[in-house]
Amino acid sequence: MKALVYTGTQELVYRDEPNPSKVSGESILKIHASGICGSDMHAYHGHDERRIPPLILGHEVSGKIQNGKFKDKDVVLNPLITCGKCEYCRTGREHLCPSRIILGMNKPIERQGVFAEFVSTPDQNIYEIPNGLDKNEAPVAEPTAVSLHAVLIGEKSLKKPLSECKVLVQGGGAIGLLCGLILSKIKKTKNIVLSDPNKLRLAECSKYLDAKFVSPTDKEIMSNSFDIIFDTVGLEVSRQQAIDVVKPGGSIIHIGLTQPAGPFNFRKMTLQEVTVIGTYCYTNKDFEQTLEILAKKEIGSLDWIEFRDLKSGGEAFKQIHDGTCVAPKIILLP
């Protein structure tokens, strides 16, 4: 099969790779479409110790199953593979399973990713694409589930409904835009500010989301003025801004992971009882709910997705890297 292989820092090669072999309990997916995620970019920059080259990256995927009980079904994969037996798996928090692995990782166990023509997947990770969801847009289910999970966790942490909250979303990538769309269209939040340094990206997001679009240094982002902040960036500077601008008793939902550590105003967090929550992936239930949301078009049109050929995927990574790519999500078609 053809695949886009990550061969070294900022290096992707489109080349022939062996087809995945059949494994018991798993099926082979012929890939329709695969989305480029922030975590793929992180690996591409050589910053992910779980993704060591050479490796096929990618985990946001739809396709047609080639064998087994789902044969010939158009499906989307939940790429988070878990044990099904541990304390977390048994209580609906599969995403915290200690032996979890995501497609497109090779540490601790090898799982080739989806920037390819075929991939092998455990049967329990297969979900039929519901009516109403286009098969090439279906990979967006994965980042949508990440965003839904973050919004639901944020909602639970607050003492008032999200519809009455003033919200800051830091970052206008797919996760930021999707958090904004879920807040605006499903949770009926009216007061949303979305910040990003890339003006072209803000202009693109503004076509789909009802919010104020500003640069991260804009006066609009004032100290002690937001009930809840979604940090989809995860830089030291975004976290410092989040703790500065959150209101007493407010919440910070930390999703992005660009920089793992750094100074933070723990004094304000403590004195003002700010809730800071890290969120990761999604539960199986969140993933199922996401498919329903997308099938019913509850977050509106997905025309902000840009489609490109898998062959020229390397170029897409380069453009995302140098900030010349405007679309919040690029999906590659083999």
Q: Which is nearer to Zn ion, 81 or 129 (CB)?
A: 81
Q: How far is the CB of 234 from Zn ion (least distance, A)?
A: 14
Of 236, 224, 276, the residue nearest 254 (C-alpha): 276
Q: Which is nearer to Zn ion, 99 or 275 (CB)?
A: 99
Q: How far is the CB of 83 from Zn ion (least distance, A)?
A: 3
Q: Which is nearer to Zn ion, 142 or 196 (CB)?
A: 142
Count Cα atoms within 13 angstroms, Cβ side, for 148: 23
Q: Crossing angle, helix 199-206 and helix 174-181, to 10 degrees?
A: 30
Give Cβ neighbours of residue 217 (< 8 Å, ≥ 6 apart): none
Q: Measured between alpha carbons, how far is 232 from 261 in angstroms, rounded to an integer?
A: 15
Q: How far is the CB of 50 from Zn ion (least distance, A)?
A: 14
Q: How far is the CB of 307 from Zn ion (least distance, A)?
A: 17
Q: Which is nearer to Zn ion, 12 or 37 (CB)?
A: 37
CA dihedral 139, 142, 143, 147 (to 10 degrees): 140
Residues forming contacts to Zn ion in the complex (CB under 5 A) are 37, 60, 82-83, 86, 89, 97, 142
Query: How many other C-beta atoms lie within 10 A of the C-beta of residue 5?
Result: 22
Q: Which is nearer to Zn ion, 82 or 241 (CB)?
A: 82
In the chain, count H helices and then E strands: 9, 18
Q: How far is the CB of 84 from Zn ion (least distance, A)?
A: 6
Q: Which is nearer to Zn ion, 80 or 167 (CB)?
A: 80
User: Using an 8 Å Cβ cutoff, are 231 and 252 in contact?
Assistant: yes
Q: How far is the CB of 220 from Zn ion (least distance, A)?
A: 29
CA 300 to chain CA mean position, Å: 18
